Amino acid sequence: MSDSTPIREAPLPSTGSILSGRLTVVGGLAAALAVLVLAASLVGAYPLSLPEMLAAVGRRLAGAPAQGQIDTVLFEVRLPRVLSAVVVGAALAAAGAAYQALFRNPLVSPDILGVSTGAGLGAVLGIFLSLPVAGIQLTAFAVGLATVGLVYAIASMVHGREPILVLVLAGVVVGSLAGAAISLLKILADPYDQLPAIVFWLLGSLAAVRKGEVWAAAPLVLLGLVPLVLLRWRINVLSLGDEEAKALGVQAGRLRLLVVAAATLMTASVVAISGVIGWVGLVIPHIARMLVGPSFDRLLPTAMLLGASYLLLVDTLARTMARIEVPIGILTAVIGAPFFLWLLARGREGWS
């Protein structure tokens, strides 16, 4: 078998170093996030010092009565906002990673499948109907899920073509329909009261997130995360495509539906509190794949930590770098779009 040389020539494996390298990445990202959370809790319009913060946390933990402004700023304003950036960033990145694996397309994201726009339409509808915050969350979630359902229904009705392509195109079409409906609601909205609220919310911002809203969104995000964590390895098999996954022994159809529903729940529940923050679900999973490879069991924690750190950093910049706050959706687009173009230009096979 002398002709076996070309096919079987390969570098020697070094499993140990690669594996520990990946663990280091997750550990490093977790440490970075912890530092960022601490820093973001201190800076702002009312700066706190580290001893002040620790004293306030100590009082809270000991059950002692709150003292003055420091406790109010920290527990009512700063920490809810930091927490919401972490939750929103992690949820969008996790959902993006799941969508990309499932649809075998690195260009897929909550934005492209129409989930974000759908949830956005739901929230705008809630604002238009002057619903309370909980009502806005509910309409955002309901219309977000309905959008994915519609996209799925259209995609499954169109037979005989590249199913992934049909799905993505259906997402774009349904998303732009939802966009048109949003425009209609803007025209109809009260220009002095509702319209500014709608516009500001659509730009994406964590400025208006209240403490109660974070606590309302977090359990839903966790609920959506459970299937992704449990099925973390099987999602790799799904990413090979339905036919191969079935031949390997996976009930591909059912599992795919479950994972899509989970990722959609995560997306819709954070869009309901933060507005449409684009690009996170598209770009962050890419960076995570560059760091730890495509295997979902490593990709998920890496993408969530990266997404949380990224959004916390951007949000902290948004509220500190200028006298007026820059909506975070603008910043993520300004950072995300060029980055994505750079990814495209690199054009490496396999989209690492």
Q: Which of 251, 321, 334, 338 binds another protein (CB under 8 A)?
A: 251
Indicate whether 237 belongs to the interface with another protein (CB under 8 A): yes
Helix (H/G/I), strand (E/B), else coil: 255? helix
Q: Considering beta carbons, is residue 62 or 243 the nearer one to another protein? A: 243
Q: Which of 182, 198, 231, 271 binds another protein (CB under 8 A)?
A: 231
Indicate whether 301 belongs to the interface with another protein (CB under 8 A): no
Burial class (CB in 10 A: 0-12, 13-18, 19+), 44: middle
Q: Which of 76, 162, 193, 244 binds another protein (CB under 8 A)?
A: 244
Burial class (CB in 10 A: 0-12, 13-18, 19+), 260: buried
SS (H, E, C) 143-203: HHHHHHHHHHHHHHHCCCCCHHHHHHHHHHHHHHHHHHHHHHHHHHCCCCCHHHHHHHHHH
Our measurement of the distance from residue 184's CA atom to the centroid of its chain's CA atoms, rounded to an integer in Å, reads 27
Quote the CA–CA distance of 236 and 245 in Å, as a whole number: 9
Indicate whether 345 belongs to the interface with another protein (CB under 8 A): no
Indicate whether 346 belongs to the interface with another protein (CB under 8 A): no
**Using CB under 8 A, which residues numbered 151 to 210 contact another protein?**
159
Q: Which of 142, 236, 261, 333 binds another protein (CB under 8 A)?
A: 236
Binding segment for another protein (CB under 8 A), chosen from 52-60, 64-72, 240-248, 263-271, is 240-248
Quote the CA–CA distance of 348 and 230 in Å, as a whole number: 31
CB of 174 vs another protein, minimal distance in Å: 24
Binding site for another protein (CB under 8 A): 1, 3-4, 6-15, 18, 101, 104-106, 159, 230-234, 236-237, 239-240, 243-244, 246-251, 289, 293-295, 297, 349-352
